[in-house]
Amino acid sequence: MYHFVYRWTRKSLHILDCEWLSSSHGTIGVMADLIGINNDINVAAVDRFTLVHLVAGAALGKLGVSGLTAAGVAVGWELVENKLKDASPSSFPHPSHDTPANSIVDAMAMIAGWALFRSR
């Protein structure tokens, strides 16, 4: 099991420390880091912008874009996104660089959105 040391702010839950005590609470700690409950935009593997990537993939699917093109757009965007953030930070609501885990999950979310909503 895990024991958590945390604090709440108006916008998020911050997990400050985690000790191994119980597996039932351990999942919460892992998920908090995974989904960005700590308000870790562009840091956690999944953050609120992952939904934007899923919706963009769904739009590509509904537009009839091929799977190869959708995958190219997803991976291509993630490859240039940090460079664009450096060049024009004011164009992004959160101009911090994506972590590799966040980039991979965002690309997968876009491809998943395409797969779920592709025109058949």
Tell whether 87 is covered by a domain: yes
The whole domain housing 18 covers 2-35
SS3 at position 67:
helix
Residues 70 and 13 grouped into a single domain: no
Band of the pLDDT at 78, cuts 50, 70, 90? Answer: very high
Q: State the total domains in the chain.
A: 2
The answer to the question of residue 52 being in a domain is: yes
Q: Looking at the domain assignment, is residue 88 inside a domain?
A: yes
For the chain, what is the total number of helices (H) and then of strands (E)? 4, 2
12-26: pLDDT as tens digits: 444 444 444 333 444
Structure tokens at 101: 């885990």
pTM confidence score: 0.68
Judge whether 41 lies within some domain: no
The answer on 102 and 68 residing in a single domain is: yes
The predicted pLDDT at position 31 comes to 47
